[in-house]
Structure 1
Amino acid sequence: MIVFDLRCSGGHVFEAWFGSSEAYATQRDAGQIACPLCADTRIDKALMAPHLPAKSNQRADTPPASIKAALQELAAVQKRALADSQWVGGDFATRARAMHDGEERYAAIHGQATLAEAKALVDDGVPVAPLPFPVIPPEAAN
C-alpha cells in the first residue's frame, strides 16, 4: 500500500491509500477519487513532506493529528447514520418534498440536490440538512 496527499481543484488537501501508483492513476483518470470535503473529482497529488519521527521533547498529539482524528470520527458517524438510509440520487428534493407533504410515506433518504432545490426545501419547512462529507453514489463506488 502507498499513501498520497491529494489536492482537489478547490485546494482541499486530503490523504488516500492505494495499492500502487498505477492504481492511483487509474482511479484518478476514471474519476473515482473524490474530495471528501467538496466531492470534486479533479484530483492531483499534493506536495508531501517525508514522515520524520517526532523528537522526544515534542508532543505526539499535535493539533493536525487531533483534527484528523475528529474528521475520521465524524465520517464514521455519517456512515453509521446512512446505513439505514436509502440513496435516491437526484430525486432527493422531489422525494423529500413528497414525504413532507404527506404524498409519500416517510423514510430515511439521502441524495443530491442543487443549491436552489435545497434552499427551496428549507424555505418551505422541509426538514433537510447537508451531510458533512460527500457521498459517492452506489453505482460509482468501486
Structure 2
Amino acid sequence: MIQFTLKCDKDHRFDSWFQSGAAFDKLKAAGMVTCSICGSAQVEKAIMAPRVRPARMAAPAPPPEAPVDLPAPASLSEPQNAAEEALGKLRRNIEENSEYVGDKFTQEARAMHEGDSPERAIYGEAKLDDAKQLIEDGIPVLPLPFMPGRKTN
C-alpha cells in the first residue's frame, strides 16, 4: 500500500491510499479517482516528501544545529476549512431545531406520514433497507452528512 498526496484542478489537497503506483495510474485512467472535496476528476499527484525508514544499521541522524520553530498544531476541535465550518453549522441547526428519535426514526417518519403522529422535524438512525423502503413508499427522508450524537436518556 502507498499513500499519495493528491490535488485537483481547484487546488484542493487530500491524501488517499492505493495498492501501488500502477494501481493509482489505472484508477485515474478509468476516471475513478476524484477530489474528496469537490468531486473533480482532474486529479494529479502533488509533491510530497517520501516516508523512508532508515536501515537498522544506519547511523543515527545528527541532531539539528538549531531548534526549528514549528507552527502550533491546529486544534482538532476547530474547523480547518469552510466545508468543515458549514457542516458544523448544519449539525448544530439540526440538533437545536429537531427532535432526536434514535433508532425509532423509521417508525416515527412513517407515523407522521400516515397522520398517526404530529408532524415535526425529527432525526435519528435507520438501517439502509428501512430508509430505502421509506423512500419507495413516498416518505421524504434524507441522510445526514454526520453521525448523530447518541443521547442516553
Instruction: With the length of structure 2 as denominator, give the TM-score of the two structures.
Output: 0.46
The structure with the largest helix share of the pair is 1
Instruction: With the length of structure 1 as denominator, give the TM-score of the two structures.
Output: 0.49
